[in-house]
Amino acid sequence: MRYRLITILSGLLISASLFCQVDKKEVRGGNKFFKKGEIKEAEVEYKRALLKDSTSMKANYNLGNTLYRLESAEEALKYYKLAEDSVKMYSKAATADLFHNMGNTYLTQKKYKEAIEAFKESLRKNPTDIETKSNLAYAQKMLKEEEDQDQDQDQDQDQQDQNDDQNKDQDQQDQNKDQNQQDQNKDQNKDQNKDQQDQNKDKNQQDQNQDEQKQNTPPPKIDPKAAQQMLQAIEDKEKDTQDKVNKEKAKLLQSRQKEKNW
């Protein structure tokens, strides 16, 4: 940043001695405003000069410097390039200054490759310019940092992609594992249900067999003597019962007779 600031101040110097063409009235007026720091007024004068002569190398070059000071880098480059073809017909110093300023303008846009080429072109015309060398080194440093950053971002992206792929594989494995576990649980449940059904079926069969056994089991055999005794007991009980009934009937008849005789 220090080199850039130094170069900006030095690179914006406007010297009529750099050019061989005759100054126009508007160009001289623009130079006066520029030196006093009245940049907008300088811009107006240089544009007036270009209305009269659009090929004026001085007007294009100085207007480029003015627009650079107004932080209109893209527009500044437009007028620098218009001056580029004609400035080469003058001195090497003028060409060196033009490309030096173009390099500074590219720096403000972070176009480091273009800035490097502009500074190199300036040094071809003026190899001893320390400020241009410093600015060239600065642009090269910034370009390397940018490329390293891009490379780190690419590596980070590759690593991220690799991690994403690994995560996807792990997720798929987990899903497959879960599915296998679910299938295994289903099989176990099926087996358990089948076992339970078999157990229930066996129990039902056992109950059915027991019922059939009860139905088919013959009555227990009775000893003839015991059977005779049981029969005699039943007859005796029936006789007692009949005797009681007869006695009750006799009493009832007696009571009725008394009632009738009264």
User: Given CA atoms 67, 70, 74, 75 in this order, what sign does their dihedral have?
Assistant: negative
249 is a domain residue:
no
Within a domain: residue 227?
Answer: no
CA angle 235, 238, 244 (to 5 degrees): 145
CATH number at residue 19: 1.25.40.10
Amino acid at 31: N
- Predicted confidence (pLDDT) per residue in 118-141, tens digit: 999 999 999 999 999 999 999 999
Is 207 within the bounds of a domain? no
Is 62 part of a structural domain of the chain? Answer: yes
Q: Indicate the DSSP class of residue 24.
A: P
- Counted domains in the chain: 1
Domain span including residue 22: 2-147
**pLDDT tens-digit map of 64-120:** 999 999 999 999 999 999 998 888 777 889 999 999 999 999 999 999 999 999 999
pLDDT in tens, 151-193: 878 776 777 877 777 878 787 888 888 887 887 877 777 777 7
Look up residue 152 and give its amino acid. D
pLDDT in tens, 14-60: 443 444 444 578 999 999 999 999 999 999 999 999 999 999 999 99
Write the CA distances from 100 to 27, 110, 112, 140, integer angstroms.
21, 15, 13, 15
For residue 206, what are the contacts with CB-CB under 8 A and spacing of at least 6? none
Radius of gyration of the chain (CA): 62
Tokens 């061989």 identify what position? 20
CB 82 within 8 A of CB 62: no
Are the CB atoms for 95 and 87 separated by under 8 Å?
A: yes
